[in-house]
Amino acid sequence: MNTLVAVAISPCGTGDELSSDVAKVVDVIRKSGLKNRTNSMFTEIEGEWDEVMKTVKEATMILADKGIRTEVVLKADVRPGYKDMMDGKIERLEKKIAKINE
């Protein structure tokens, strides 16, 4: 079933600068082959439920397997019958905003 998640995976207790560890996490996600997009707070991943959750686990374990305490914040949208939710949701939203501003 197609699933869209927004996930933030980050190390805890490793100091003020987290970007090196976060880069390792995002690299795992990008190499998964699943559609994804990273912004300043979250990475969105879209695909079949099992594949998405496998990727989240692998991205988490890239830090946790090194003994790093790892925080995961995840929000999932499981919407049967829909594909391309990552872009489709934004397109629908932009159309509604445009109507408001007509």
Q: Which residue ranges form the domains of the chain, and what is each CATH number?
A: 2-100 (3.30.70.930)
Residue 57 vs residue 12, higher pLDDT: 57
Query: What pLDDT, in 10s, does the model give residues 48-78?
Result: 999 999 999 999 999 999 999 999 999 999 9
12: DSSP letter = S
Q: What is this structure's pTM?
A: 0.89
Residue 15 has pLDDT above 90, yes or no: no
Question: DSSP E strands: which ranges in the chain?
Answer: 2-11, 35-38, 43-48, 70-78
